[in-house]
Structure 1
Amino acid sequence: MIKAIVFDFDGVILDSERIMYLVMQKMFHRYHVDLPLSIWSQAIGTQNGFNSLDYLEEHAQVKIDRAAFKSERDALFNKLVDEEEVLPGVKSILVQAKELGLKIGLATSSKGEWPRKHLKRFGLIDYFESIKSWDDVLKVKPDPALYTKSLDALGVGPKEAIAIEDSFNGSLAAKKAGMYCIVVPNAVTNQMPFGHVDGCFNSLKGISLEKLVKYFSPELRSKR
């Protein structure tokens, strides 16, 4: 029976992935270099999937001041993302989870201070019993370590939890951990292959968590 849900952060709770892609596109265009989504998507949901500055230097055929580039990128990104609100349906899922008595965790490939900052800003951090991040593991997604640590912290088994993801790397990590996984693709992940997941939704808005729990709990379905 389902006893917990574990959220990804970027792209599921905060629309940060779209903003980062827009920022990177803008900065690449200064060097007259395109950044195709098919290339950039290798970096989504993980930390080492794609080295953007290696790619930029190769295609622009110039040496980039990497420290200055990253500083400007981060300043622009943070300015924009700090204006973003929580994605639709997230608060509803959290409220429903509490009402159903489910444990709630977070598993993100980002550094720990990043999700905590925004969860506090949204007034949501108290919903989470466990937050596992880049700081807690040797390998991030698609390695399953973030999810296995989340399961351990919540005291549940793989088939007692549902992961909510938006990317291929993230959903692969959840499935490697043995969990059920639903995905909510966004503008920069909706072209990814998700044939391995257990459900795909356009948004978390309007989702009945009770129905999801019953769907992934055979013992409950058999009583209907």
Structure 2
Amino acid sequence: MSLKAVLLDMDGVIVDTEPLHRKAYFKTFDQLEVSVSESLYTSFTGASTKRVCETLISEFSLSHNHEDIATIKRAHFKDYFYNDEEFDLIPGVRKLIEHYYENGITLILASSATMTTINMVFEKFGLEKYFSGKISGADLKESKPHPEIFLKSAEIAGKNTENCMVIEDSTNGILAAHRANIFCAAYKSFHTHNQDYSLANIIVSDYSELEVGKISKFF
């Protein structure tokens, strides 16, 4: 048995767009003239833009509809995405992606982000050539922690699940990999808070620990 495919989540694994979303949301709140507390903002974690907008409308009795607010937020996000100098790939991930690619391992992106955001990231950082497929959870019936996204990714890779590895950073993603019965490496960075890694097969804080030679003992 050997490792033949790696299925990567995007946010928190390849890039960290959370600070950009935060800046874009707070700029939107200013524009709407609403004061959102830290605890209310924290409650939005993992929620879709639509749900966040609907919460704002009910919470602050806004006259806007959710599409209007989402449009404002998206415009700010796009601006930060292309112009924020701090925004970059997560340290070590490009080297790891190139390493897998050079070792003939099939790479599939399995992210809950929209395909628009996925394509923006791939274009900005020139990642397209390394990946054999991309799946957006937004296009699927079920979302993580349901295993659908990873089972579909293995299918696209054309590999058996026991020859695949998932790289994830969130409780829901790790649970989805566990339910799909796929070996899961959890990436724990200093950005990561309040996530449960108990179901991950291995936990790393440095991507060099996931190089083929170091993980071959698991496959």
Classify 1:192/1:70 alpha carbon distance in 2 versus 1 (closer, same or farther; 3 Å).
same
Partner SS state of residue 169, structure 1: helix
1:41 aligns with 2:77: no
Q: Which residue of 2 aligns with 1:221?
A: none
Q: How many residues align?
A: 212
- Equivalent residue number for residue 165 of structure 2: 162
Deviation (angstroms), 1:40:
2.4
Counterpart secondary structure, 1:5: strand
Q: Name the structure 2 match of 1:183.
A: 186
User: SS of 2:118's equivalent?
Assistant: helix
Aligned mate of 2:140, from 134, 137, 142? 137
Structure 1 unaligned blocks of 5 or more: 218-224
Task: State the match for 2:218 in structure 1.
Answer: 216
Identity, in percent, stands at: 24
Structure 2 match to 1:147: 150
- Deviating runs (4+, > 3 A) in structure 1? 25-30, 61-65, 185-189
Mapped contact 2:145–2:172 kept (Cα < 8 A): yes
CA distance in 2, matches of 1:67, 1:74: 10
Distance of 1:55 and 1:66 partners within structure 2: 9
Question: Alpha-carbon deviation of 1:92?
Answer: 0.8
Q: TM-score when scaled to structure 1?
A: 0.81
Instruction: Output the TM-score relative to the length of structure 2.
Output: 0.83
Please give the alpha-carbon distance, in whole angstroms, between the structure 1 residues aligned to 2:189 and 2:82. 19
RMSD (Å), alpha carbons = 2.5
Give unpaired runs (5+ residues) of structure 2: none
- Residue identity in the other structure for 1:152: E
How far residue 194 of structure 1 moved from its aligned partner, in angstroms, is 1.8
Q: Do the aligned partners of residues 212 and 54 (structure 1) sit closer, same or farther apart at CA in structure 2, a change above 3 Å counting?
A: farther
Q: Tell me, what secondary structure is at the counterpart of 2:107?
A: strand
2:190 & 2:145 partners in 1: Cα distance? 20
